[in-house]
Amino acid sequence: MNVVEASGLGKRYGSTWALRECSLTIPAGHVAALVGPNGAGKTTLLNLAVGLAAPSAGAVTVLGGRPAGSLAALDGIAFVAQDTPLYKNLSAADLLHLTSNLNRRFDQHYARARLAELGIPLKKKAGKLSGGQHAQLALTLALARRPRLLVLDEPVAMLDPIARHDFMATVLTAMADDGVSVLLSSHVLAELERVADYLILLARGRVQVACEVDDLLASHRMLTGPAAEAGKYAQWPVVHLRSGEAQAHLLVRAGADDPVAPGWEAHPVGLEELALAYLREPGAAALPGPARSRHADVSEVTK
Amino acid sequence: MSIDKEVNGQPGGRASASPPAGGGGKAPARPGQRGPGSPIEFRLDPGSGVPTYLQLVHQVEHALRLGYLKPGDQLPKIRDVVAALAINPNTVLKAYKELEVKGLAAGRPGQGTFVEATLSQIALPELTALGRSLSGWLTAAEGAGLDEDGIVAMFTSTLRDFYERRSGSHTRGGAADRGTEGVA
Amino acid sequence: MTALTMTARPAEDASLRPVPWRRMAWVTWRQHRIALTGVAVFLGACAIYVWINGLQLHHAYAAAAACHPAASPACSALSSGFHVGAFLLNGYNLQAVPALIGAFAGAPLLARELETGTFRYAWTQGFGRSRWTLAKLVPLAVLLAAAAGALSVLLSWYYQPSFAPRNPALFPLPMSTFAATLFDLRGIAFAAWTLAAFAIGALAGMLIRRVVPAIAATLAAYAGLAFAAALYLRPHYLTPLVTRNVFRYFLSPPGSDYVVRQWWTKGGTTLSQSTTDQVINSTFTRMMPVAHSSREGAVAALKQPTNVHVFHYLTQHGYTQWTSYQPPSRFWPFQWIEGGWLFALSVLLIAATIWLVRRRAA
């Protein structure tokens, strides 16, 4: 099943296109990271996927073909928006009751146990919680709905390192326990490699990369060699070139088996370096990888 | 200095990088968290440049070598690893599958992943002989003018070429031990 | 870090029945209980004030009305204890009640969600945003209208003395049942205006998306509508009756009838207002006796023309007075008409609000 399928998706605000010609297919069972500079259209894409915005062009379906924003889609998707908005004058207990009333499925036991474990008092008003506690509360409410897809908009931007780690640990544990797929937008490239196994790079409203991380890393190489010979690789799909006087680094789309000219070295590239290179070259794009649904049958091995 | 620069994880030996349990600091650390299952715990070095799943594979191999893990022991449950390190469960799965391919571990449905075999133990006289020939090489390298970093660089790149030639597609993607940045 | 495991995922409900409506009752109450309690306290305070004041005024009125003879000093003392001005003034204040309810209960409903961003939470829950809006607006609207309706029953009781057969000493200025304060505080008009104010507030909140400006806009829109209705709509709900040469309407307040328009004709042509004023003034002047001495002046004072004389003079010299008016018997038909169009307007505004919720982009 594909948790998100978009074809030609676009969104316009006034005369500006925040997102254009976005086509991607995110398979289930993955953590898909949506990365891009500010204003690239990440929040727009997420809003379209959860039904908070309607497309100006194209279409987006979720959870195997359900129209985004329909009741069927809302049932299976839990969204935590940027700055985790919650009703500030309601206590955690009230918010649990509220969310329980607004959804068909709600795991009260899990939610209460989780809040107790985190040390979040049930009677305190949400507005008085610390940043980390607030984010964890919003996440607990979302996970207690037992969604198929969890969508997070820059969830850890405001959190300190420990809170950030705990937040992501919660998300990933839910993925391990419950098989929930995750789509999150992030600024923090450094933590991507640990967490993401599907990468979407957005720049200026267009999709540059939409691909499984393994396929992406396997299909790129960093070539290092004499700067004078950099032109040799003009034929190859070169993503990014950095050159000193004598030495040049070329990031190319090539596999491990592609031949390397003598005098040149080929290294695999790390995810952060690759993402940065693409973001530096808005014109470059990697064709989306094949939509193989790699069913990581995680819940079977766990127990 | 250890040759295995990029191989991490000496369980029990040094301070673990995993954070204390509990977001609010209220729940106590759980030494029994690894459960009745596994003798080892994983740690993660995010700055090392080694892909995460490989770090886990190496830690298991290292534990096997040092005797912390024996055949029949259970490897940490995937969800426990995920909870402690905040990494993608698919990554842990990939590491365990890699160990299966290497014949070191096997999954039992509904129970977990267990150690199947151990790394071939090398007899002590052989180890001593290898160590002596290595010291000889080191002396020659130093005499030729290589400093410590140069020695390490030469060794790791030769090691990589050695395995790449041997294993081919088995180690594609990030499997090649990426210890060096571009050679200056 | 955590040993907490989730239980197995419950089986998918293939029929995908939507979340039942009744769940929203608790949600609406919990989210808006401050506003609702505030409204309850406010209306309760109004009710208590009207009750206490009303009891006192009713006693004073009854005592003064029962007193005979009306012109004696003892009875005059009693009638002065009945404060007509205060009696009527409350009406002006109470007219603000529907506006306040609409502004403070209706406007923040959606505006606060949009202003604080909590709609990103509320509209991505399984309940669905249109159903959520409907489930909030309709029960609240009904509740507020019912509470206002209850208060207006009390207000009808309060104003009873002004419609009883009256003692002119107590009510020198008779009042029409269609007078602004009296009409929309009684019958079903009060509840209907409260409903309309709430609907205006909800729509304003959705359009403006900020709480304070939405409250201001609601108050302004309501005031505009209320004035327009009283001045232009209400007099014409049914075609006014027309009568001629009724002295009662000449240069004096019309009593319990509601005068829509008054005009004079001579020989079939309608006279303009300025011409009419001119004619009346010149008649007064012509009929003034001429005074030659002070004693004659005193006598002349006794012979000053009264309105009656002027009126008879005019009607006997070819002038005809026409008056279109609404009789008090039409009170209830007018109430139903006003209540009806306000109800229809409210339904329209609420529907528009829900439509906007459906199509609003984040």
CATH assignment at residue A85: 3.40.50.300
State the pLDDT confidence band at B183, using cuts at 50, 70 and 90: very low
* Distance spanning both ends of chain C, measured CA to CA: 36
pLDDT digits (tens, 9 = 90+) for A101-117: 899 989 999 999 999 99
pLDDT digits (tens, 9 = 90+) for A181-211: 999 998 778 788 889 999 999 988 889 889 8
Closest residue of chain A to C22, computed from CA coordinates: A101
Pairing mode, if any, of strands A66-67 and A206-212? unpaired
Q: Does C23 touch chain A (CB under 8 A)?
A: yes
Neighbours of chain C (3+ CB pairs under 8 A): A, B
Same domain, A178 and A164: yes
Distances (CA, A) of A68 to A152, A229, C214: 16, 50, 31
Subunit contact B78:A302, Cβ cutoff 8 A: yes
State the pLDDT confidence band at A300, using cuts at 50, 70 and 90: very low
User: Taking chain C (362 residues) in consecutive chunks of 10 residues, what is each chunk's mean pLDDT?
Assistant: 58 64 82 86 88 82 70 67 64 85 92 93 91 91 92 85 61 65 84 96 95 96 93 86 78 71 81 81 75 60 68 81 83 91 96 90 48
CA distance A185 to C13: 30
Total domains present in chain A: 2
What pLDDT does A261 receive?
75
The nearest CA of chain B is from the CA of C6 a distance in Å of 11
- Classified by CATH at the fold level, domain B36-115 comes out as Arc Repressor Mutant, subunit A (1.10.10)
Same domain, A226 and A210: no
Return the DSSP state at A148. S
pLDDT digits (tens, 9 = 90+) for B116-160: 887 766 666 777 888 899 999 999 998 988 888 989 988 888 888
Same domain, A251 and A164: no
Token pair recorded at residue B171: 């180690």
Token pair recorded at residue C124: 């991505």
SS3 letters for chain B?
CCCCCCCCCCCCCCCCCCCCCCCCCCCCCCHHHHCCCCCCCCCCCCCCCCCHHHHHHHHHHHHHHHCCCCCCCECCCHHHHHHHHCCCHHHHHHHHHHHHHCCCEEEECCCEEEECCCCCCCCHHHHHHHHHHHHHHHHHHHHHCCCHHHHHHHHHHHHHHHHHHHHHHHHCCCCCCCCCCCCC
Read off the pLDDT of each residue in B22-37 and give the average, rounded to a whole number: 46
Nearest to A71 among C6, C31, C128 (CB): C128
Same domain, A120 and A260: no
Q: Does A107 touch chain C (CB under 8 A)?
A: yes
Same domain, A140 and A255: no
Q: For all residues of chain A together, what is the average pLDDT?
A: 85
Q: Looking at the predicted structure, is the pLDDT value of residue B11 above 50?
A: no
Contacts across the A-C interface (CB distance below 8 Å): 108
Read off the pLDDT of each residue in B57-83 and give the average, rounded to a whole number: 89
A87's CB contacts (< 8 A; 6+ apart) are: A94, A95, A98, A126, C31, C118, C121
Compute, in degrees rounded to 10, the torsion defined by CA atoms A19, A25, A30, A32.
-10
Nearest to A218 among B88, B112, B172 (CB): B172
Residues of C in contact with B83 (CB under 8 A): 1-2
Residue with more model confidence, C259 or A13: A13
pLDDT digits (tens, 9 = 90+) for A238-263: 777 878 888 878 888 877 777 777 77
Same domain, A248 and A181: no
The domain ranges of chain B are 36-115, 124-171
Residues of B in contact with A217 (CB under 8 A): 173-174
Neighbours of chain A (3+ CB pairs under 8 A): B, C
What pLDDT does C84 receive?
63
Residue with more model confidence, A288 or A42: A42
Domain region containing A246: 220-280
What pLDDT does C300 receive?
57
Same domain, A17 and A67: yes
State the pLDDT confidence band at A139, using cuts at 50, 70 and 90: very high
Q: Does C69 touch chain A (CB under 8 A)?
A: no
Subunit contact A165:B84, Cβ cutoff 8 A: no
CB A34 within 8 A of CB A42: yes
Same domain, A117 and A152: yes
Closest residue of chain B to A248, computed from CA coordinates: B182
Residue in the structure block whose two tokens are 């499997």: B175
pTM of the model: 0.79
Same domain, A130 and A252: no
What is the per-residue burial (b if ≥16 Cβ within 10 Å, else e) of C212-246?
A: ebbbebbbebbeebbeebbeeebbebeebeeeeee
- Cross-sheet strand order for the sheet of A149-153: A77-80, A149-153, A181-186, A31-35, A198-203, A206-212
Nearest to B79 among A132, A133, A173 (CB): A173
B37's CB contacts (< 8 A; 6+ apart) are: B74, B75, B76, B77, B112
CA distance C234 to C197: 18
Same domain, A101 and A9: yes
The nearest CA of chain C is from the CA of B101 a distance in Å of 29
State the pLDDT confidence band at B26, using cuts at 50, 70 and 90: very low
Q: Which of A63-77, B93-107, C29-43 has the lowest mean pLDDT?
A: C29-43
Return the DSSP state at A125. B
Same domain, A18 and A44: yes
Q: Does C4 touch chain B (CB under 8 A)?
A: no
Same domain, A270 and A294: no
What pLDDT does B9 receive?
37
Residues of C in contact with B21 (CB under 8 A): 1-2
What pLDDT does C174 receive?
57
A97's CB contacts (< 8 A; 6+ apart) are: C26, C30
Token pair recorded at residue A29: 């069972």
Q: Does B21 touch chain C (CB under 8 A)?
A: yes
